[in-house]
Amino acid sequence: MLSAFANAFKTPELRKKIFFTLGIIALFRLGSTVPSPNVNISRIDQCIALAGQGDAAGLYSMINLFSGGALLQLTVFALGIMPYITASIILQLLVVVIPRLETLKKEGAAGTQKITQYTRYLTVVLAVLNSTAFVTLARTGQLFPGCDGILYSQDIFPLVVMVMVMTAGTVVIMWLGELITDRGIGNGMSLMIFTQIAASFPAGMWSIKQANPGATGWFLFFLVLAIGLLVMLGIVFMEQGQRRIPVQYAKRMVGQRLVGGSTTYIPLKVNQAGVIPVIFASSILYLPVLYSTFRPESALGQWIAVNFTTSSTWYSVAMFVLIIAFTYFYVSITFNPEEVSDNMKKYGGFIPGVRAGKPTERYLAYVLSRLTAPGSLYLAVIALVPTVAFMSMGAAENFPFGGVSILIIVGVALDTVKRIESQLQQRNYEGFLR
């Protein structure tokens, strides 16, 4: 593998792409540490130290995770890539609902470019809404309850400037991600999420050690590290798992040439939905917590505040059920057995032992349903690892090897390595994966 890695840097074109990607990532991390105007960064550090990183994130843990901790610091890139992710998910759902978008999707590259443009517009709108919400929380003192003085001025003009700077930061992140996708290695948006999550790993691990002084702290540190690596190994195994459905293509005449007669397969992954259902479930579960934040005097708000925290049984059960439900829902809208069956029939393809048309559609739906069951359970279990497995250790808030973070880390790493390997194999070099 080391020789293959060296070959990647020996290839001028590939070396240029790797260095370009690393340069963009360095610029991205720099922007994540530059505070927005009107922010008292020293006071914010004091508030985080008093509350603890995990407790301070609280309700905003998902956005704070994707921003690498930049959200609580109210930096230029405080919102991270979360508005773009949300916009992409919304557009994917609307493609199924709105016929116009579905028609654009079927038009090929031109239609995809149009949908991407809509995603950019929606990202800007969501960035304005999110930045306004967090600036308002900072102004009213609800970003860090019981800790004020994080803004120098409460006047309207400095607050508007903060909103504009954070929104512009999101647009710049979106542009940097597209630059990586076009001129670098891998998917730019995914790599940026990978970078922000990986940046929070050292602090998360060290906070576990600091919370338990002496030999106990070091024992817990290495125990969490070992269990985290085992979790990572299990995720790699599941992410690589797939069911290959064989497909044969009959020979046919195209012009004066005889084409077809080949055998291929349809790869159906065990985790066909990726990390999207976990993000869906987390977003939905923010709603009751938001209600309790803005209506703390109501009976329902008080019950939610006491019984619906991220470490409660109610929250864990709701998360488990929602992840399974969203996994089936997302798989159903991203993989259409009817469309796959029609395309196979159009080009003379068939599954051995299964008739073309409706029987093929029913067979694909049956296999997909059988695969989604273990895939949804796997996602639900992994997402609850920090809450369930480490509650007794007192490391649940700081444990970096669980939930969304490790799923994204492993998924993006595997995808990037495969992209580098494919470019190496095009030049007759040995790849990373054997």
User: Residue ranges of the chain with pLDDT lower than 50?
Assistant: 54-57, 396
Q: Which residue matches tokens 């798992």? A: 241
Torsion of CA 25, 26, 31, 32, to 10 degrees: 70
In a domain, 421, yes or no: no
Reported pTM? 0.77
Distance CA 421, CA 431 (A): 5
How much is the pLDDT for 172?
92
Clarify whether residues 3 and 100 are in a common domain: yes
Tokens of 148: 């004020």
Alpha carbon of residue 132 to chain centroid: 23
Tokens of 303: 């019950």
Q: Which residue matches tokens 């005097």? A: 297
Overall domain count for the chain? 2
Clarify whether residues 166 and 33 are in a common domain: yes
Closest CA relative to residue 225, chosen from 92, 107, 393 = 393
In a domain, 327, yes or no: yes
Clarify whether residues 232 and 310 are in a common domain: yes
What are the tens digits of pLDDT across the range 117-146?
999 999 999 999 888 888 887 887 777 776
The secondary structure of residue 36, as a DSSP letter, is P
How much is the pLDDT for 384?
78
Burial of 10 (0-12, 13-18, 19+ CB in 10 A): exposed
Distance CA 343, CA 346 (A): 5
Q: How many CB atoms lie within 10 A of CB 139?
A: 18
Q: Where are the alpha helices (DSSP H) in 70-155?
A: 70-73, 82-97, 99-106, 109-140
Query: What is the tally of helices (H) and strands (E) in the chain?
Result: 20, 5
How much is the pLDDT for 282?
76
Alpha carbon of residue 38 to chain centroid: 30
Clarify whether residues 290 and 255 are in a common domain: yes
In a domain, 416, yes or no: no
How much is the pLDDT for 125?
92
Tokens of 31: 């922007």
Using DSSP's 3-state secondary structure scheme, residue 80 falls into coil
In a domain, 409, yes or no: no
In a domain, 67, yes or no: yes
Q: Which domain holds residue 153?
A: 1-200
Q: What is the CATH number of the domain that holds 280?
A: 1.10.3370.10
Distance CA 126, CA 144 (A): 23
For residue 201, what is the enclosing H or E element? Answer: helix 201-211
How much is the pLDDT for 56?
47
How much is the pLDDT for 57?
47
